[in-house]
Amino acid sequence: MELSKSQKRLIEKRKAISGKTIVAIDPASKRHQVAIISPDAIPLMRSFKIFNTGQGFNRLLQKLAGIKKAFPSVEFLFAIEPSSHYWIPLLFFFKKRGYQFVLVPGLFVKRTREIEDHTSRQDDPKDAHIIGELVLHGKYCEERMPQDVYAELRNFSNDWLELSGEKAALRMKIRMLLDKYFPEFLKLFSDFLGASGRFLLCKCPFPKDVLKEDIRLLKEQVYKISRCRIDDERIDELLESAETSIGIDEGILGARFRLRHLLEKYELCELHQKEIAFEIEAYLNCIDYTPFLLSLPGVGLISVMLLLGQTGDLRNYNTVADLISFAGLDLIYADSGNRVGRRHISKRGRKQLRLILFQMTLAFIQHHNVARRKYLKQRIAGKKPTQAIVSSISFFVRVMFSVVKQERDYLKLDASDPVYQEVKQLEKQLEEQSKRNTQKKAA
C-alpha cells in the first residue's frame, strides 16, 4: 500500500535522527533546562539547568564530553523549543562547534503536556523531556536560521517591515489630525503625504495658514515640486476649501506642533528606508540566483530582499510545499464522515513571509501567466479578490522555484501561447460577468 506524503516525511525524519542522543533544551531568559535522552527514550541523567552565559554553555560542553568519553560512538542532536529569542545565542554557540539542531514548536509541546502525565501541569523539566520525546517520534522542524549574507538580509528585512509599520501608523495619526483641523485637505490629493502634500502641510497646514499665503508664489512652488502635475486650479480649490472649511480652531498651536513632529518622524522613516535600499544591492549581488528572481515580472530589489530575509537560502527548501508550509499558507480542514469542512490557510508560519508573498503575487498576476489564469478562474468562481490572490500564491512560488532551481531567467509568454490565449478569454469572461452583476444590482 502506498503511503501518504506526510507518512513518508515522518519516516524520513525518524531515519534522520535514528541512533542519535537528543539534547533537549527548554530555553528561558536566564537559565535553560536541559534533558539528555538516549535513542531508546531513556534519560541518561537527571535534567539540569545551565545559565544563559558562556560559562553555562561550557558546563554543557563538559557534560557532553563526559558522555562521549563513556560512550565513544554516541552522536548528539540538539532539540530546542524556539520560544522568544533567548535560544539564538546558544544555537550559534554549539553550531560553531559542529553540533546539529532541530526545532520543536511551542504548540507541539503545549498539545503534548497532558499526554505526558494526564495533567496540564507545566514546568521546565517536564517540557525539556517532552521536547526530547517529540524529536524521537519525528515531530520536529528543520532548523533554518539564516547565516552570512542571509543573516544580513534578515535584519534588513525586519528593519524595513518595522519602518513600514511605523509609517502606516504615522500616516493614520496625521490623517486623524487633519480630519479635525482641515478635513478638506485630504480630498484634494490622491496621496496627501506625497511631495506636494508634505510641502503644503509644512508651509500652510491649516485653513488660516493657507489664507495668509501669497497664492501666486504658492502656485509656482507647488507646480515646481510636483513636477508640473499639480496645476493652478488645484491650488484655487485649496484656497476655496480653506475659506469654507469646517475644521476646528481650538488647540491650533499644539496641533501645529504635533503635525510638524509627525511629519519629521515620517520623513526620518523614509530616509532610513532609502539607506536600506542603498545597502542591500551589494548583499544581493553575492547571491548567484538574484538575477533570476529579478527577471520575474513585478519583482524588484526590495521584494527580493524581503523574501530572502524571511526564507533564507531558497535552495534549502526541497519542495514548493515546504516553503508554502513555512509561510503558513498550507490548507487545513476538518473532514469527518460525510461532512466536508471548509478549506482555509493554516497561518501556522511566518506572518511577514505571507505578506511578502501576497504582495509579490499581486504584482505578478498583473501579467499574463499561470498565476493570473488561476486568479481569474477563482474570481469567475465567485471568490473575492483577496481570496483569489491567496489561491494564486502557490503558482507564483512554483514559478519562482523553477527559475532558481533551473538557474535561468523567466520567459514571458508569447501571444501565441495557449496559456496566454486562455488568460485573454478568462479576462473577457470576467468582464462580462461583472457587467451582468452590475446590471442586476441596478435593476
Q: Is pLDDT above 70 for 363? A: yes
144-173: average pLDDT:
93
Within 10 angstroms of residue 286's Cβ, the number of other Cβ atoms is 12
Question: Beta partners for 37?
Answer: 22, 43
Q: Is pLDDT above 70 for 342? A: yes
Q: Dump pLDDT digits (tens) for 160-197.
A: 999 999 999 999 999 999 999 999 988 888 888 888 88
Spatial CB neighbours of 214, under 8 Å, sequence gap ≥ 6: none
Q: What pLDDT score was predicted for residue 236?
A: 86
Which cell is 292 given? 533570476
User: CA-to-CA distance for 163 and 154, rounded, in angstroms?
Assistant: 14
Q: What is the share, in percent, of the chain residues with pLDDT greater than 90?
A: 51
Percentage helix, strand, coil for the chain under 3-state DSSP, each rounded to 5: 60, 10, 30
Q: Is pLDDT above 70 for 216? A: yes
Q: Give alpha helix (H) positions in 285-417.
A: 290-294, 301-311, 320-326, 351-364, 370-380, 385-405
Q: Dump pLDDT digits (tens) for 300-321.
A: 999 999 999 999 899 888 888 8
User: CA-to-CA distance for 79 and 99, rounded, in angstroms?
Assistant: 11
User: CA-to-CA distance for 131 and 410, rounded, in angstroms?
Assistant: 43
Q: What pLDDT score was predicted for residue 181?
A: 92
Question: Beta partners for 50?
Answer: 32
Q: Is pLDDT above 90 for 122? A: no
196 membership: H or E segment, kind and range: helix 195-203
DSSP assignment of 100-137: EEEE--HHHHHHHHHHHHSS----HHHHHHHHHHHHHT
Q: Is pLDDT above 70 for 443? A: no
User: CA-to-CA distance for 4 and 14, rounded, in angstroms?
Assistant: 16
On the CB side of 159, how many CA atoms lie within 13 Å of its CA? 19
User: CA-to-CA distance for 110 and 275, rounded, in angstroms?
Assistant: 42
Q: What angle do CA 323, 1, 6 make, to 5 degrees?
A: 20
The helix-helix angle for 149-181 and 252-284 (nearest 10°) equals 160
pLDDT band at 1 (very low <50, low <70, confident <90, very high): low
Of residues 110 and 116, more confidence is placed in 110
Exposed (0-12), middle (13-18) or buried (19+): which is 323, by Cβ within 10 Å?
buried
Q: Dump pLDDT digits (tens) for 268-305.
A: 999 999 999 999 988 999 999 999 999 999 899 999 99
Average pLDDT, the chain: 89
333-340: average pLDDT:
76
Spatial CB neighbours of 171, under 8 Å, sequence gap ≥ 6: 193, 266
Q: What are phi and psi of 114, to 5 degrees?
A: -70, -25
Question: Beta partners for 339?
Answer: 336
Q: Is pLDDT above 90 for 377? A: yes
Q: Is pLDDT above 70 for 329? A: yes
Which position has the grid cell 519542495? 319
Q: Which domains does the chain have, with CATH numbers?
A: 5-142 (3.30.420.140), 152-281 (1.10.287.4070), 290-442 (no CATH)
pLDDT band at 435 (very low <50, low <70, confident <90, very high): confident
Spatial CB neighbours of 270, under 8 Å, sequence gap ≥ 6: 167
Determine contact, residues 344/334, Cβ cutoff 8 Å: no
Type of residue found at 4: S
Spatial CB neighbours of 390, under 8 Å, sequence gap ≥ 6: 329, 345, 358
Spatial CB neighbours of 259, under 8 Å, sequence gap ≥ 6: 174, 177, 201, 205
Which position has the grid cell 532558481? 404
pLDDT band at 87 (very low <50, low <70, confident <90, very high): very high
Which cell is 368 given? 499574463
The alpha carbon dihedral of 344, 350, 355, 360 has a sign of negative
23-40: average pLDDT:
93
Q: Is pLDDT above 80 for 2? A: no
Q: What pLDDT score was predicted for residue 117?
A: 76
Question: Beta partners for 36?
Answer: 23
Distances, alpha carbon 128 to alpha carbons 13, 38, 74, 92, 140, in Å? 20, 14, 20, 20, 14
